[in-house]
Structure 1
Amino acid sequence: MTEALEFQDVSCEFRGVMCPGKLKITDQNIVFKNKKTGKLDQINAPDLDFVNWQKLVGTWALRIFLKNGSLHRFAGFKESETEKISSYFKSNFKLDVPEKELSVKGWNWGTTKFTGNVLTFEVNSTPAFEIPLKDVSQCITGKNEVTVEFHPNDDAAESLIEMRFYIPTNEIAGDTDPVEAFKDNVMNQASVINATGDAIAVFNEIQCLTPRGRYDIKVFNSFFQLHGKTFDYKIPMSTVLRLFTLPHKDGRQTFFVISLDPPIKQGQTRYHFLTFLFTQDETTELELPFTDAELKEKYEGKLEKELSGPTYEVMAKVMKVVVNRKITVPGSFRGHSGTSAVTCSFKAAAGYIYPLERGFIFIHKPPMHIRFEEIATVNFARSGGSTRSFDFEIELKSGTVHTFSSIEKEEYGKLFDFIREKKLRVKNTGKGDKPSYKDDFGESDDEKEPDAYLARVKREAEERDDDDEDEEDEDEDSDEDEYDDYYYDLLSSMLYFGRKKRDTSNEEFFNFQDQILPKIPAYKIKSTMKVKINRRNMEKK
């Protein structure tokens, strides 16, 4: 078996954006893994038609045409790597990899050529640019003009929205209208959703949390439709990235989550996840519009003609087979409540975080899926000074930090064990035994929570005492004045902070105050400060 070729910094073109990822070439297939989404795109060796090189600014691109007419373009190769890759294709796939010459004359007139689902604009029989027709959303004709509209890409800083072609009518002889012929060639390969035939399954009045509303869901072979009172969506099956079934913490409901790439849009809001909520006692009975022979031929017998059971199970099964994606469910993790859900908050929204076998998912606002391979470190932190809960911080390799706050202290041990089991790096934790919650955050049953400010100033005072003991008293008078001023300022800030905080019952505060007072000469204590000290002493008694 020939050794595979792997490239860590390669980009794949998608709707005008070069998406970074990893490329692996074997004698069986070519696999690209998107770094951002984790999505795998696989090209099988028997599907290859022809391959060539294209020179880009500062790098090289590999253009791969398939027998079904589709084009895949991978960029980021060094010139020194081109010969090695060409030899690999020659020996394993029996394909030559020549360099594709491009026209750089800058002319805006030429001829168009349709190859598979690619439109090529040629100048003197040399390609000037190419348009993948799967990126086309609409094609509109005029008198001698055709306007081609494209699907926008939200990840692109700038997107090509439309392109216009002027087509003289005298170029093509005969009765055929060249404008209509051009439009037909484009629309035959364009990514335009048209409902053909009956829906495979229909689910009525399904509660959706993101985007919020109740929708009728119709599942077709190539897309599924969400029809609501205000909005209507048609979502291609090819955009479905992952499917999740997640039990609600109350044990009576279930989330069914569909991850999309690219997302759907509602106004200026993008939805990368569709989050549906079902009650477990809600049932559905379906009869699919296929014969047993058709089901066996189309879906390899994975669907029965009659389906019944809890609605979320029926819908999940239909989507799993039609989309051809596995359904992700929680693994072995069980929290303090005995469920796979951990109650927490993300920013101002309360929700649940589910530790999965290969990542975390947060439901529901906003839904968020974090894969283990994206994570640099995790951290357990005190939640806003409270010891009754803690924060769980996830830092990504990209530098982004997601903080899930207000997690009950009882979840600490379970979550920490899960992190260690998955070999995730815990920030500021050594190789010793697992620290207890009390060791990390203190005892939460105490009525008096620790005063972070008091602890800090106390620590500063102790450090100051240590420094003063080590120093020689070269100028005793000036040192004493500086020493007195330090404790005077310290006591002033403590009294001010105590008044702002209205905390007059902290015995530790009084004890520390008693330690500071003897170190300040009486003449330096102002009358206003004496009043505050006396008032505190009265409250202490």
Structure 2
Amino acid sequence: MAELRTSFPNIYLASKSYINARGEVRLGQSGIGWKPATDQDIQTVKASKINGISAETGLLVIQSAEIQQIIWQRVGRMYGIRIVLKNGTNHRLDGFDRDVYDDLKEAIGKYFHGITLENRELNVKGYNWGKAEFEGTNLVFRTENKPTFDLPLETVANTNLVGKSEVSIELQSAPEIAGKKRKNQFDELVEIRFYVPGVVAKDMTNKDSGGSDQEQEQSETSAAQVFYETVKSKADLGQISGKSIVNFSEVLCLTPRGRYNIDMYPKFLRLRGKTYDYKIMYEHVLKLFLVTKPDEMHVLFVINLSPPIRQGQTRYPFLVFQFLRDEEKEVVLNLDSETIKDKYDNQIMKRYEEPLYKTISELFKVFVAKKPIVPDTYRTIHGAQGAKCSLKANEGILYPLNRGILFVPKPAQFVAYSEINSVVFSRVGSGSASSGRTFDIVINSHTGTDIQFSSFNREEFDGLFNYLKEKNVKVLSDISEKATVSYAETDQSSDGEGSARGAQDSDEDESSVDEDFVAGSESDVPEEYNEDYSSENDE
């Protein structure tokens, strides 16, 4: 005899953000199942890589013995249920009509012993002061003992402790939709900040041990620190399973400024600083650059990221690391010979004994599967790979490369030649002695955005101008521009000068010395300031 089942059509799978797959939900004695409606829905859920989804059929099967709790609540698509499993995993199904609540509650009570459908009412009053609780892999924020919102921690990209009482949580970016412009992409939440005041005991079991005040202070830590560590562990950002392949300690980073530890894993790298901690997937690396500074003592290794990392409101699409050119360090990878041969095709070595920048660039080349871009033929008058200049108030170095222009260290910029409409060299023919020693360039892009680099050494003009011209970049210069004046302007200026000269002459006439005046002579008309002056009223 076939198993009795209750089904609900046109239900969306919402276990992962930004998925639009519809199917049918079936409840029975064995558990809960969701079946995609169309072939396109099958392909969508297969690509989502959700735990529990069959790689062959796209079916979601949840055994009744795995279910711990089923919650009914209002969602964006009408009503939905959240299925909480005993291992902490959550699955979401949206699109239920309000009228099916009674039927769904009856089916759950009939098929699953000891489990009832919990009706969760949300608090939508807009309060922002409440209590944060961790339920499995979800962060639930409650106000007035009612949930206001919940945050799936698997969507967390990064978290940082900002100050003593503030924790920021950065969320993963929405996937870009092929064929759609940026303005038609998803609107998305990118960051949430929590203010977590107060302190908590490190060991709650010793809370009433009666120790000294100093011991109690040492046994306490800030509540924000505990909240931060909990988010890291729940979101799998802290103790990452498996050993890292290699670790580099205290690497100097110019952008963003600070020293970071770099831990490299097979599919991602971890960037750990004193305040910020990042997990960067290798697939998010767009370009790698390796350039030498003009002092010939330091080497810059630049990583271009998309999406960029963030520190507060500031985005950093480029990471700029600086190394001493002659600094050598022995590096041993945590890989055996078989793994190096089978997985990496002997492209990396077990042991490195060479300058540190070479070791890091070679490892990134293999793990990221992108070759670092290096300067080709351009050289300054002093033989350097880049020319010193300024971007707004920031001094830096401009590197003309084979396919674009790179400016480092801050703010790092890369402009491909294919994006440039023209490059204008300005202040080249300036007459003043001070400004004649330097010149500026303005890059006009096809999008209408202009970038101005200033304070180039005047002697770099010929080399930079000719190099860009060789790369088929449209270059313009004001060195041949001359000031031209029309006849009408000449007449107007002449008239203006004549009238001005006439006014000046009249002023000179008015202020000229009176030849008839003789100092000390008696005046025919007595003045009020004369001592001998007397009026009729005085009489």
Normalising by structure 1, we get a TM-score of: 0.54
Q: 1:461 to 1:158 in 2, by over 3 A?
A: same
1:127-526 pair list within 5 angstroms: 139-140=138-139, 147-148=151-152, 150=155, 151=171, 153=173, 158-160=187-189, 195-382=240-427, 385=430, 386-427=435-476, 439-440=479-480, 460=485, 463-465=488-490, 468=491, 486-488=496-498, 520-521=501-502, 524-526=505-507
Paired letter, 1:526: D
Structure 2 residue aligned with 1:24: none
Q: Structure 1 CA distance, aligned partners of 2:187 and 2:289?
A: 33
Q: Structure 1 CA distance, aligned partners of 2:246 and 2:77?
A: 51
Structure 1 residue aligned with 2:35: none
Q: Structure 1 CA distance, aligned partners of 2:510 and 2:448?
A: 47
Q: 1:259 to 1:118 in 2, by over 3 A?
A: farther
Structure 1 residue aligned with 2:130: none
Q: Structure 2 CA distance, aligned partners of 1:229 and 1:384?
A: 49
SS in 2 for 1:312: helix
Q: Structure 2 CA distance, aligned partners of 1:403 and 1:230?
A: 33
Q: Is the 8 A contact 2:332 2:350 kept in 1?
A: yes
Paired letter, 1:229: K
Q: Structure 2 CA distance, aligned partners of 1:65 and 1:302?
A: 35
Question: What do the CA deviations read for 1:492-515 (whole angstroms, capped 9, x no partner)?
Answer: xxxxxxxxxxxxxxxxxxxxxxxx
* Structure with greater proportional helix content: 1
SS in 2 for 1:387: helix
Structure 1 residue aligned with 2:217: none
Q: Structure 2 CA distance, aligned partners of 1:192 and 1:529?
A: 87
Q: 1:107 to 1:292 in 2, by over 3 A?
A: closer
Q: Structure 2 CA distance, aligned partners of 1:52 and 1:530?
A: 96
Q: 1:483 to 1:302 in 2, by over 3 A?
A: closer
Question: What do the CA deviations read for 1:451-494 (whole angstroms, capped 9, x no partner)?
Answer: xxxx97xx6586534xx5xxxxxxxxxxxxx88751157x6xxx
Residue in structure 2 matching 1:121, options 74, 89, 94: 94
Q: 1:210 to 1:376 in 2, by over 3 A?
A: same
Q: 1:119 to 1:387 in 2, by over 3 A?
A: farther
Q: Is the 8 A contact 1:383 1:405 kept in 2?
A: no
Q: Structure 2 CA distance, aligned partners of 1:193 and 1:373?
A: 41
Q: 1:485 to 1:353 in 2, by over 3 A?
A: same
Paired letter, 2:344: Y
Question: What do the CA deviations read for 1:224-250 (whole angstroms, capped 9, x no partner)?
Answer: 222223333222222221111111111
Q: 1:330 to 1:64 in 2, by over 3 A?
A: farther
Q: How many residues align?
A: 341
Q: Structure 2 CA distance, aligned partners of 1:291 and 1:260?
A: 30
Paired letter, 1:324: A
Gaps of 5+ in 2: 1-16, 19-37, 51-74, 84-89, 98-136, 156-170, 175-181, 193-231, 513-539
SS in 1 for 2:377: coil
SS in 2 for 1:327: coil
Q: Structure 1 CA distance, aligned partners of 2:288 and 2:438?
A: 31
Q: Structure 2 CA distance, aligned partners of 1:51 and 1:530?
A: 99
Q: Is the 8 A contact 1:246 1:256 kept in 2?
A: yes
Q: Structure 2 CA distance, aligned partners of 1:347 and 1:330?
A: 24
Structure 2 residue aligned with 1:59: none
Paired letter, 1:320: K
* Largest Rg, 1 or 2: 2
Q: Structure 2 CA distance, aligned partners of 1:296 and 1:118?
A: 40
Q: Is the 8 A contact 1:252 1:280 kept in 2?
A: yes
Deviation (angstroms), 1:359:
0.4
Q: Structure 2 CA distance, aligned partners of 1:299 and 1:202?
A: 18
Paired letter, 2:497: Y
Q: Structure 1 CA distance, aligned partners of 2:187 and 2:509?
A: 64
Q: 1:525 to 1:227 in 2, by over 3 A?
A: farther
Deviation (angstroms), 1:419:
1.4
Deviates more, 1:408-417 or 1:139-148: 139-148
Deviation (angstroms), 1:260:
1.0
Q: Is the 8 A contact 1:193 1:234 kept in 2?
A: no
Q: 1:530 to 1:232 in 2, by over 3 A?
A: farther
SS in 1 for 2:361: helix
SS in 2 for 1:526: helix
Structure 2 residue aligned with 1:496: none
Q: Structure 1 CA distance, aligned partners of 2:319 and 2:424?
A: 29
Gaps of 5+ in 1: 1-14, 17-49, 54-62, 72-104, 125-137, 164-186, 430-436, 442-454, 469-481, 492-519, 532-541
Q: Is the 8 A contact 1:193 1:223 kept in 2?
A: no
The share of aligned pairs that are identical, in percent, is: 32
